[in-house]
Amino acid sequence: MAKESFVEQIADIEKDFPQWYTDVVLKTGLVDYGPVKGTMVIRPYGYAIWENIQTEMDARFKATGHKNAYFPLLIPMSYFTKEAEHVEGFAPEVAVVTHAGGEELSEPLAIRPTSETIIGSMYSKWIQSYRDLPVLINQWANVMRWEKTTRPFLRTSEFLWQEGHTAHATEDEAMEETMKMLSVYKEFAENVLAIPVICGRKTEKEKFAGAVATFGMEAMMKDGKSLQSGTTHYLGQNFAKAFDIKFLDKDGVQKHAYTSSWGTSTRMIGALIMAHGDSRGLVLPPKVAPCQVVIVPIAAKKGGVMEACAEIKAKLEKDGVRVIFDETDNSPGWKFNEWEMKGVPLRIELGPRDLEAGKALIFRRDTLEKTEVQLENIGQEIQALLNTVQKDMLEAARKRRDEKIVYANDLKGILKGVEGGNFVKAGWCGCRECEDKVKTETAATARVFAEGETSETCAVCGKKSKHTVIFARAY
């Protein structure tokens, strides 16, 4: 009995979204809390999603000419002070090693919160001539930022990420790289995570500490809040000057390089959960689902059902589908609940009568629809359906989001918009005071500048608008 009521253990998504999130991440086995406050254990089901993300992303990085490398975890504290804005942004969040090997260290060492400084120090050794440029390196690593309030995937003291760090001979090339990686992120978010994103520039207040300009991609969660899912930074010569990254150019002149950096993290798993999940739990897009298809036998003791299920499993595996055949003793109803909660995109149900009729039922997790398929075509049907689900999930998310983008001409309009769970587009004069006022009055922040759009006047002060900004409450 307890087992049949599995799903009811998840809080109501409509009534208590934060509790629903916590229930889902813990009860589907994605994560657990680590013993140190603010840390998470990524359990096999969660880590398998991360592995699929890594595989898809890494292929995109390599296709755009990047190579992976690994830089040390520990950074001398003095490195942070070399870039003034950078130290201000990161020093307060740093975890510090003061003792090692039984002795006090002569200089305290920071656990990397991000690696611009240590990578900058190495690039200054490796880059001598224009022939050494561009340097296009990515790192998959753990990083640490000591946060007061933490939530699994969204904000944890340690998280996993990738950080790209590139150096170029010219401003144009570095800026081109910054924008190229933003488009790589966007294509990835949409075609792999099935999450539509809005890309654009960040305000001075919201930009990366030490960057000239930061660009971000923002995804709408089901509660209408925004989740920053990736950022790229044009660093100009800031870090090149701080770490002396210089090269002899073709014209015989010593110049500082131009650098960029860009990152995405396990936060994206949080985006997946909150962009697609529903009252039954997770809804995972096929491309990142650890299990794409689950096979559930019905009244299985009769007439070769188990054998037929095993055959389907073998066939699908041969086609490269990630499939589980649930052979446990649990009831079909319990299995349905469990795998729905875990967000498996497709379920095949097969009973003796189906088998006799040469067909099976397929349940789609995203639309909750059931269709009948002929067993002889099941391989092609599953492949086609996985592609359809992947595409449909993006379109459904886009539709949901687009219905929740509204316009506002004044502060009251912004407040009403975000209280209704919307992204609000509004004009902004560009001054910090107006940006802060939106935050204070509405708890919304400027997410990114909207592309190709301009409002006439600032929604806060009424002066001439400089940018149209997406305002939203954010994770």
- Contact residues: a second copy, CB under 8 A: 32, 34-36, 39-44, 46-48, 50-51, 67-76, 79, 91-102, 108-109, 111, 118, 121-122, 125-126, 137, 141-142, 144, 146-148, 157-158, 160
Q: Which helix (H) or strand (E) holds 415?
A: helix 411-419
Cα–Cα dist 314/27, whole Å = 29
Helix 171-191 to helix 44-63 angle, to the nearest 10 degrees?
Answer: 140
Instruction: State the chain's maximal CA–CA distance in angstroms.
Output: 83
CB of 243 to a second copy, least distance (A): 11
One-letter amino acid for residue 392 of the chain: D
Q: Which of 101, 87, 61 is nearest to 181 (CA)?
A: 61
CB of 223 to a second copy, least distance (A): 27
CB of 276 to a second copy, least distance (A): 23
CB of 41 to a second copy, least distance (A): 5
Q: Which is nearer to a second copy, 123 or 234 (CB)?
A: 123
CB of 133 to a second copy, least distance (A): 15
Q: Which is nearer to a second copy, 160 or 469 (CB)?
A: 160
How far CA 293 is from CA of 209, 308, 323, 364, 388, in Å, comes to 44, 15, 5, 10, 14
Is residue 461 within 8 Å of 434, Cβ to Cβ?
yes
Cα–Cα dist 336/355, whole Å = 19
Read off the tokens for 407. Answer: 């316009």
CB of 91 to a second copy, least distance (A): 8
In sequence order, the β-bridge partners of residue 293 are: 323, 346
Q: Which is nearer to a second copy, 290 or 351 (CB)?
A: 290
Q: Which of 386, 401, 21 is nearest to 196 (CA)?
A: 401
Read off the tokens for 265. Answer: 């993290």
Q: Which is nearer to a second copy, 75 or 221 (CB)?
A: 75
CB of 81 to a second copy, least distance (A): 14
Burial label for 417, CB within 10 Å (0-12, 13-18, 19+), is buried
